[in-house]
Amino acid sequence: MKTLFIFLPIRDYIKTRRKLWRQYLIPLATGIIVLIGAFAIDVRDGVDIEAIFSDFVGIQISGIATLVSFLLAIITILVSSDNENIRKLKSEKSNEIHYKKLGGEQLSLFQVLLSNISYYVMVEIIYMMILIAYVFLALIVPASAIKWLISISVFFLMHILLGMMECVTQMYLTFWKDKR
């Protein structure tokens, strides 16, 4: 079955990365630790976990919307820039140790950067849809299930934030003038 057109950035990201499990290890471990902690630590009496979760989801929706805007601005900068650094990124091939070929060709550094940013935009949009679903799920699931939803949220947040750090670092290095 062919990949849906809108999921191409995710498919290409996954197909071209070596040791992809590293991208998910820290977020997964953090989510598991939060889940274990949520069940091991008893919440104080009188705490409305549903209200806290609702606030948490609302804050995340606002934050993720801001991050999507930020990454879309980076994509705009990348595709509209025509300077020496961008031309160099387009002509220089990525390291075969870290990136697999796509369509028989090694990715350029520009493609790696664009792929990273596009992947994280897609992850953020998918996560925003999950958060919107959480709003309705919180109305019907028991309070104990909210602990699972919180740990899933922590996984996504860690994955997105670590990926954003990588994207920002790559952008920084793209426009940094090497003095050597």
Domain range list for the chain:
58-81+117-180
Summarize the confidence of residues 144-172 as an average pLDDT. 90
**Helix or strand (DSSP H, E) at 100:** none
Contacts for 28 with CB less than 8 Å, ≥ 6 apart: 155
Cα 67 to Cα 160: distance, rounded to the nearest angstrom = 9
Summarize the confidence of residues 66-80 as an average pLDDT. 88
Measured between its terminal Cα atoms, the distance across the chain in Å is 49
User: Sign of torsion, CA 81 84 85 87?
Assistant: positive
Cα 66 to Cα 63: distance, rounded to the nearest angstrom = 5
Q: What is the pLDDT of residues 102-114, one digit of tens each?
A: 888 888 888 999 9
- 168, two tokens: 């920002």
Question: Out of 21-30, 42-51, 125-134, 136-145, which region has the weakest mean confidence (pLDDT)?
Answer: 42-51
Q: What is the pLDDT of residues 118-144, one digit of tens each?
A: 999 999 999 999 999 999 988 898 888
- Nearest alpha carbon to residue 143 among 75, 48, 65, 71: 48
Judged against a pLDDT cut of 80, whether residue 180 lies above it is answered with: no
Cα 180 to Cα 178: distance, rounded to the nearest angstrom = 6
pLDDT of res. 58: 93
Q: What is the pTM of this model?
A: 0.87
